[in-house]
Chains A and B, each alone.
Chain A
Amino acid sequence: MLLEKANLLVIDDEEIVRNSCTKILTEEGHVVRGAENGDQGLNVFKEFHPDLVLIDLKMPGKSGMEVLEELESADPDVVKIVITGYATVSSALDAMKRGAYDFIPKPFSPDELVLVVTRGLEKRRLLMEKKALLIGQEKIRRNMVSLVSHELRAPIAATVQYLEVILEGVAGEVSSEAEELIHRCDERLREMLELINKWINLAVFDPIKLAEHFEDVNLSEMALKSMELLKSSADKKKVRLSLEAQKNVPVIAGSKICLEEVFNNLIGNAIKYNRKKGRVAVKIYEQGNDVCFEVNDNGIGIEKENLPRIFDEFYRVDGRRTSPIQGSGLGLAIVKTMVDAHGGAISVDSRFGDGTSFKIRLPKVIHLEKGS
């Protein structure tokens, strides 16, 4: 099936070409709009949503090749056909390289035009089908992930619920040793639930969707909040937390929930992998176009050969799942994903036995002056 009624845009400085194209293609049942130069064409393109665009390569002002490139980057799924004044193979080839699907040399007959446009619209239909298929597959994948997560979680949740009922004494008296063992079961299973949650969230994470909900974020406020949250675990290890934040540090565009995750993970790690009476120093400052956020600790440090892998999913430095320090192996993978989603960068510097320093750079919000 062809696109029987398509939206077509003709960008050509010659009125006679625009009019004849419009006449011929309207008779074919399409909706045709014309534009007499590149800029006008780009404007019409934005509000008309054409399926196919015919572009004259030789126009005063913005060249056809430039228009082609801009359209290609705006929407590669819109079919572009170039009209070449002289049937020069080289300029046609050049245009094809830049995203044109086909070319038609001037002068052309009505039949030639219809043929080229029909072929172009067939291509458009295939592109649309492919796109729909990809969206469908993505939907299936997401549903699949949430279904699997539900199936993984349900038995664990049911088991934990039983354990809690037993612990409440509802099913009869529990010896103190049994109680201790059940508590351990309960804890291990809850960790597993947490792990599933984290993994699923990472698997379905969509940075584009996230960016739609970005807001102005003050990193100093976020750091304070995170430090308050983690204060009790720091106190337990007698680790001292400090914050050194530049005054009036600019806001960045981001998601508070995700950045909270970043802060909690980095500061949490700095406490967890620290020594008793260690220090964790958080710094926030402006640097060029970025706001930087550092977490420095004087804890156990990371060996050089392990550094390249610390952002990998499920990678844990000592590799032992039962080491005294509990962790999912997902924390830094999440941090990296979140930082990337904010257009930022993360780097790490560590000396084994001396401490570790993480530095994150996030682009600050630039408010454009009027008229610029």
Chain B
Amino acid sequence: MNLKGKRILIIDDDPDFVRSTGMILKSAGYEVLEAFSGKEGLEKSKAENPDLYIIDLMMETYSEGSLVVDALVKDENTRDKPRIMITSVDLKGPWDSYPGDEWLACDFLLQKPVPPAELLKCVEKAIA
């Protein structure tokens, strides 16, 4: 399966993160779409129908990212599209274990900063 040219929508209110993530993905041949809030993300999703979503968990509000996921899951057009959730929350906080990927209804849950190689590996696995 040729992954080049697959379209990935990044939804994150941190423009620096959108930019660097976009650079990594573009270098691997993906087409990148950008949204800087949950609302914009859902609009772009409708208009552009991307192949994969990369969503920041904590944007303007605490749970904006998971609200975006909820909306994507509710819509049958986007329900089966792969999703990667990314957050700067400390996921390994050893004494207050964090709910896993399952809880977030995502294929992967990654912690910022994501090493480029790891990001690309997850994207490939999620799309395949």
What residues of chain A have their CB less than 8 Å away from a CB belonging to chain B? 146-147, 149-150, 153-154, 157-162, 164-165, 168, 170-171, 196-197, 200-201, 204-206, 210, 255, 257-258, 260-261
**B75-104 interface with A by 8 A CB criterion:** 88-90, 92-97
Query: Of residues A157, A159, A201, A210, which shows the largest number of chain B Cβ atoms within 10 Å of its Cβ?
Result: A157
Do the beta carbons of A157 and B112 come within 8 Å of each other? yes
Once A158-B112, A168-B24, A258-B95 are accepted as A-B contacts, the answer to whether A200 and B16 lie under 8 Å apart by CB is no
Once A146-B89, A150-B89, A171-B23 are accepted as A-B contacts, the answer to whether A161 and B95 lie under 8 Å apart by CB is no
Chain B interface residue count, CB cutoff 8 Å, equals 24
Min CB distance A92 to B, Å, is 47
Question: Which one of B1-9, B40-48, B113-121 is at the A interface?
Answer: B113-121
What residues of chain B have their CB less than 8 Å away from a CB belonging to chain A? 14, 16-17, 20-21, 23-24, 27, 58, 62, 88-90, 92-97, 112-116
Residue of B nearest to A200 (CB): B90
Partner of A201, one of B88, B94, B112: B94
Min CB distance B19 to A, Å, is 8
Kindly list chain A residues whose C-beta atoms are within 8 Å of the C-beta of B94: 201, 257-258, 260-261
Min CB distance B13 to A, Å, is 10
A146→B95 CA distance, assembly (Å): 13
A147→B115 CA distance, assembly (Å): 24
Residue of A nearest to B16 (CB): A158
Kindly list chain A residues whose C-beta atoms are within 8 Å of the C-beta of B96: 201, 204, 206
- Say what secondary structure dominates the interface of chain A: helix
A164→B90 CA distance, assembly (Å): 19
Do the beta carbons of A150 and B20 come within 8 Å of each other? no
Residue of A nearest to B28 (CB): A170
Once A150-B58, A210-B95 are accepted as A-B contacts, the answer to whether A161 and B113 lie under 8 Å apart by CB is yes
Once A157-B17, A170-B24 are accepted as A-B contacts, the answer to whether A165 and B93 lie under 8 Å apart by CB is no
Partner of A161, one of B20, B58, B93: B20
A201→B92 CA distance, assembly (Å): 10
Do the beta carbons of A197 and B17 come within 8 Å of each other? no
A-B contact pairs, 5 of them (CB 8 A): A158-B112, A161-B113, A164-B20, A201-B90, A257-B94
Once A158-B14, A160-B113, A205-B95 are accepted as A-B contacts, the answer to whether A149 and B20 lie under 8 Å apart by CB is no
A239→B113 CA distance, assembly (Å): 33
Kindly list chain B residues whose C-beta atoms are within 8 Å of the C-beta of A146: 89
Kindly list chain B residues whose C-beta atoms are within 8 Å of the C-beta of A154: 14, 88, 112
A154→B59 CA distance, assembly (Å): 11
Closest 7 CB pairs of A and B: A157-B112, A160-B113, A161-B113, A158-B16, A153-B88, A161-B20, A197-B90
